Amino acid sequence: MNSSIMKGFSFGLTSGIITTLGLMVGLYSSTSSRLVVIGGIITIAIADALSDALGIHISEEAENVHTDKEIWAATIVTFISKFVFSLTFLIPVLLLPLSVAMIVGIIWGFSTIAIFSYYIAGQQKIKPHIAVTEHLLIAGIVVVVTYYVGLWVAAFC
């Protein structure tokens, strides 16, 4: 896979999952509102996907080693992958009770990160369990911290 496309895809997938999970968990623990969680997911899918795509675009330009085609490939793939992966979290929220949807969303997000981390480890010829554990640990920290931040917001606001 072209390195610009891989960069955009891997960034979009990871950021889309971790950002959306953090937002969902934080909004759920602070409001328990399906409408708020749905609004948050849609907002993050649009605003953060555009923001991250622009960030990748500028970062690639700043390296001053990529062609315009490579820069735009990374930009477009970042936007599409972030947008799509973020929106996948709507499915359980729309179809299941919110508390169950949170669990399903966490399982979906962690599974996707684990599978992609395993793939990346294979590409880098490193032990997969190290990459998978590291990436899931970071995602877990995000989920736990945003959950407690949401509880804190609910308690004080």
What does the pLDDT read at residue 108?
98
pTM: 0.93
- DSSP assignment letter at 64: T
Amino acid at site 77: V
Separation CA 86–CA 96 (nearest Å): 17
Tokens of 147: 């959950």
Number of domains in the chain: 1
Compute the average pLDDT of residues 133-151: 97
107-124 pLDDT per residue, tens: 999 999 999 999 999 999
Please return the burial class of 63, using the count of CB atoms within 10 Å of its CB with bins 0-12, 13-18 and 19+. exposed
Separation CA 41–CA 65 (nearest Å): 35
Domain that residue 144 falls in: 3-156
CA-based nearest residue to 11, from 90, 105, 74:
74
Separation CA 39–CA 143 (nearest Å): 19
